[in-house]
Amino acid sequence: MSIGPERYDRNFDTMTRAQQAKLASSRVAVLGLGGLGGGVGEMLARTGVGHLTLIDGDLFEASNLNRQLFCTEDLLGTSKALAAEKRIRAVNSTVQVTAKAQYAGSANLYDMIKESHLVVDCLDSIHARFMLQEAAQKAQIPLVAGAIAGVTGQVTVIFPEDKGYELIYGKKEHLPAKGIESRTGNISYCALLVASIQASESIKVLLGRGEILRNKLLIMELWSNSFEVMDLV
Amino acid sequence: MAKIKIAIKLFVTLAPYLPENADNYEVEEGTTVETLIKNLKIPSDAVKLIFVNGRKQDETCVLKPGDRLGLFPPVGGG
């Protein structure tokens, strides 16, 4: 069945027609297709971002079922990137999807993201986050970063000329490989809440619209319903 | 030494170190964030981000009456 422009009817008039067209020609790379990346990928596809590059070298395992949208029981042991590609095609066949079942490393990151207008950091290692920031700086594209631990989450937006992760995690020479999420785990509704805000910031950066979390860190904590935007500089 | 009152919020794995009366916590005038972290027996390498009144600061920041202090551990999951 052919689906016409009514696919995006409920995007209006929050979006203008010109903004919808801008999204259709936008290219976004999503790094990490777990709790954050699954939500971000699906929301960007439904909103109408026209080109998505979905990158993750991991295979699904049972511990992903508590939060990762693309993870279903029948897909355990299979590629996260290929599952994401299939899901996005099923949701919105007008999106040009490129799936890369590869781990992000300093050698391949730049090439994987250089054609994109924006990159979304949904990774689960602080070291990899710094590598991605360097690649995004080299590609001169903005980065929308989200991170979670338990029911705590944070989001910021890093432009190529910004200090970025150093303001949040300190100098990269003195980093722990993992944050406290190795103790707290990750809860589904917190992952998807942070993913939603990453999707929102991505759309705002692509459209040049609204207030962006640049040099700011939105921190949320759900036991206490704390939502606060902090100034990083 | 005169006393001042501040509000303290400790996130996630730091929460067990939260003192009583955290919303109205008394410290000596001139206390730095570093000293307060030590006095609360929080391991210094457990704190990654320090915010005072919503703005990032380092551990040398001297606390003033009415300050809102937030301490965060590193959060990196995805």
Q: Which of A124, A167, A186 is closest, CB to CB, to B56?
A: A167
Q: Judge whether A187 and A151 are in contact, CB under 8 Å.
A: yes
pLDDT of A101-144, one tens digit each? Answer: 999 888 899 999 999 999 999 999 999 999 999 999 999 999 99
Q: Is residue B76 part of a domain?
A: no
Which chain A residue has its CA at the smallest distance from B51's CA? A230
Q: Is B54's Cβ below 8 Å from some Cβ in A?
A: yes
**Cα–Cα distance measured from residue A196 to residue A220, given in angstroms and rounded to the nearest whole number:** 13
Q: Is residue B43 part of a domain?
A: yes
Average pLDDT, chain B: 96
Q: Can you tell me whether residue A150 is helix, strand or coil?
A: strand
Long-range CB contact pairs, A89-94, < 8 A, 24+: A91/A42, A91/A45, A91/A46, A92/A7, A92/A45, A92/A46, A92/A48, A93/A3, A94/A7, A94/A24, A94/A50
**Structural domain span for residue A168:** 5-231
Q: Of how many residues is chain B composed? A: 78
pLDDT at residue A5, as a whole number: 82
Q: Could B12 and A180 be called an inter-chain contact, meaning their C-beta atoms sit closer than 8 Å?
A: yes
Residue A225: Cβ-neighbour burial (10 angstroms; 0-12, 13-18, 19+): exposed
- Mind telling me how many Å the CA of A13 is from chain B's nearest CA? 32
Q: How many domains does chain B have?
A: 1
Domain at A225, CATH number: 3.40.50.720
Q: Is B38's Cβ below 8 Å from some Cβ in A?
A: no
Q: How many domains does chain A have?
A: 1
The complex scores an ipTM of 0.93
From the list B24, B28, B19, the residue with the least C-alpha distance to B6 is B24
3-class DSSP string for B8-72? EEECHHHHHHCCCCHHHEEEECCCEHHHHHHHCCCCHHHCCEEEECCEEECCCCECCCCCEEEEE
**Structural domain span for residue B40:** 3-67
Phi, psi of A145 (to 5 degrees): -110, 135
pLDDT at residue B45, as a whole number: 87
Q: Is residue B27 part of a domain?
A: yes
Q: Is B62's Cβ below 8 Å from some Cβ in A?
A: no
Domain at B52, CATH number: 3.10.20
**Cα–Cα distance measured from residue B63 to residue B37, given in angstroms and rounded to the nearest whole number:** 12
Portion of chain A with pLDDT greater than 70, in percent: 99
Q: Could B13 and A183 be called an inter-chain contact, meaning their C-beta atoms sit closer than 8 Å?
A: yes
pLDDT of B8-43, one tens digit each? Answer: 999 999 999 999 999 999 999 999 999 999 999 999
pLDDT at residue A1, as a whole number: 63
From the list A155, A128, A159, the residue with the least C-alpha distance to A143 is A159
* A213 pLDDT higher than 90: yes
